[in-house]
Amino acid sequence: MDYLVDYLRQVALPPIEIADAADPRVAGYRALKERAVIEGGRFVAESERVVRRLIDSGLGVESVLLTAPRLATLADALGGPFPVYVGSQAVLDGIAGFHVHRGCLALGRRPPPAPLPPDARTIVALEDLTDVDNLGAIARHAAAFGADALFLSPRCADPFYRKAIRVSLGAVFELPIVRAARWPDDLLALRASGVSVVGAVLDPDATPLERFARPPRVALLFGAEGPGLSPAARAACDHRVTIRMSPGADSLNVATAAAVFLYSTRPSEPAPPPAPTS
């Protein structure tokens, strides 16, 4: 129990033992119905790495719920002004309604809508991407390759779904995420602001990615697997670009395609430092 002694030295709020899955203090975790959590302005972070990233992100943390072994490994990160609940694996499973095999959950507060950074050079735009695994993976790739923001059509899945957060490894906590209100009008407005819209397509007459010369500011636009980009989104593109594949190949998973595009089109020069403020 030395880890518990060390932990108690670091925090003002001691861990609270939860012995009953029906304890009202952990009602926010119970059954984890996605719609109820999201409508309450919350999101659920899952796994030690993601919870640690949430705490480090500066977003609001309502509470953390974990097993004793996870308390031992996360003790150094749990000094915030939020309650930490500790229970057995069986209690956590009973609260969540599924096996919490990573032994660690947290409730966070959804951030307010963020504007696109005015100096953004690389924006990842997604049209009607409803698969949360792909959305989470694309967010992770976007963060890894230095994208400045995610720009989502109105029908895209919520990047703060528990599974999307987990797959992104918490990248959604740090990327500005903008959801368009009107589509493709907001995409056209982005284009009018000086951002070149680059559509990822399978068309044989599209520019091969290896021959594409990146403009200074781009929005890399990806559609859902199957339908791809809508005719309206295609019409909004300044460039249509494709990844050449072996004969007979069908297509790449959209998250894989996004990673290839992001790597291939990353700026050759680092972003200039921000202008000094008076």
149-164 per-position pLDDT tens digit: 999 999 999 999 989 9
Within this chain, do residues 216 and 153 fall inside the same structural domain, yes or no? yes
How far is 193 from 120, CA to CA, in rounded Å? 11
Query: What does the pLDDT read at residue 114?
Result: 84
Query: What does the pLDDT read at residue 55?
Result: 95
Tell me if 3 sits within 8 A of 72, measured CB to CB.
yes
Within this chain, do residues 162 and 55 fall inside the same structural domain, yes or no? no
Tell me if 156 sits within 8 A of 124, measured CB to CB.
no
Residues of the chain with pLDDT under 70: 1-13, 31-39, 269-278
How far is 211 from 204, CA to CA, in rounded Å? 14
Residue 84 within a domain: yes
Looking at the chain, which runs of residues are DSSP E strands? Answer: 16-17, 42-46, 61-66, 84-86, 104-109, 122-127, 149-152, 177-179, 196-200, 207-208, 218-223, 239-242
Residue 202 within a domain: yes
Query: What does the pLDDT read at residue 91?
Result: 96
Can you give the CATH number for the domain in which 95 is found? 3.30.1330.30
pTM: 0.88
Question: Domain of 72?
Answer: 2-109
Which value, to the nearest 10 degrees, does the dihedral of the CA atoms of residues 94, 96, 100, 104 take? -110
